[in-house]
Amino acid sequence: MRVLIITNNIENEMTLHEQLNRLNHEIYITRDLYVNWLQSGKFPHWISNFPMIFISETISQKEALEILEYINNWRTICLLKIDDVLTIEEEEVLYDKGFDACISTQGSFSELRETIFNCSTKEKKETDIQKKQLILPFKNFQEQLAPKDQQIISALLKATDRPISRKELSNVLWHKCTNATLSQLSLRIGKINQKISNEYGIDCAIQTLWRKGYYFNDLFYSTIVKNEYL
C-alpha cells in the first residue's frame, strides 16, 4: 500500500518508516505539504491517491483536525500518530472527528500491523472515479506549457533513470550551450517548478543534483507522472 506521512520533522518519522517498510508498504514522507498548508490553507487533491495517510505527532492536534477536514472528503484512511497513550474517551473524540485510528509512538510493531489491517477493511466516503476527476492529468498539464518548457519535461521523462545535465538540456533546447542559455534554462526550470507547485502542491518537483543535472523529485514522479507514462 502507498502510505503518505505528513510531518513537521522528517527525521522524526524514521522509526515509523522502518516499521511500515517491514510491512512492505511504499512510504512517502513530506514536510513540504505541511508548510504549504500553513501558508495557503489548502492541500492538493492528488494526495487523495494515497490509500492511507499518517499525521505526525510533530503537528499539533488542532492542526491535525483541520487537515483531517480535507482528508475526510476522500476515501483515504487517516491515522493520527501520538506521543501519549489516550484514554478510551479521548480516542472516541478523535474517532468521532473522523480519524480511523490513533497510533502511539510507544506502541509495538504488532499493534501497528493490526491497526493498519483493521483500518484497511473500512469503507471510505468517495469513489475512485470522483477522486480522479479532481486531478489534472500531467499530460494535460504538460500540453499547457510553452514549447520550450514542454521540451524540458520530455527530456526529463526520457532520462528518468539518471539526472540530465544542464549542458545536455541547453543543447536540446537551443542547440548550443552558453552562459546565456544556461541562465535561461535556470529561469525556465524555476517557472515550471512554480507552476507544478501551484497545480499539484509539490515544491521543487524538478530538483538539481550537484554537478550532475536535473531530475524529477521522487514523490512527484511516483505520484503524478509515472502511471501516465508507463
Q: Flag whether pLDDT at 131 surpasses 80.
A: no
Distances (CA, A) of 115 to 4, 94, 123, 154: 16, 15, 15, 42
Taking residue 176's Cβ as centre, other Cβ atoms within 10 Å add up to: 10
Banded model confidence at residue 10, pLDDT cuts 50, 70, 90: very high
Looking at residue 105, the DSSP 8-state letter turns out to be: T
Beta strands in the chain (DSSP E): 2-6, 26-30, 52-55, 77-82, 101-104, 206-209, 213-216
Query: DSSP strand E in 142-219: where?
Result: 206-209, 213-216
How many Å separate Cα 3 from the centre of its chain? 10
Of residues 149 and 226, more confidence is placed in 149
C-alpha distance across the termini of the chain, in Å: 19
Kindly report which listed range (14-23, 37-46, 161-170) carries the lowest average pLDDT score: 37-46
Q: What is the pLDDT of residues 108-125, one digit of tens each?
A: 899 899 989 888 765 444
Give the whole-angstrom CA distance, residue 163 versus residue 215: 5
Mean pLDDT of 152-173: 90
| pTM of this structure | 0.59
Taking only the tens place, the pLDDT of each residue in 178-220 is: 999 999 999 999 999 999 988 888 888 999 888 889 999 888 8
Q: What phi and psi values does residue 100 have, to the nearest 5 degrees? A: -80, -30
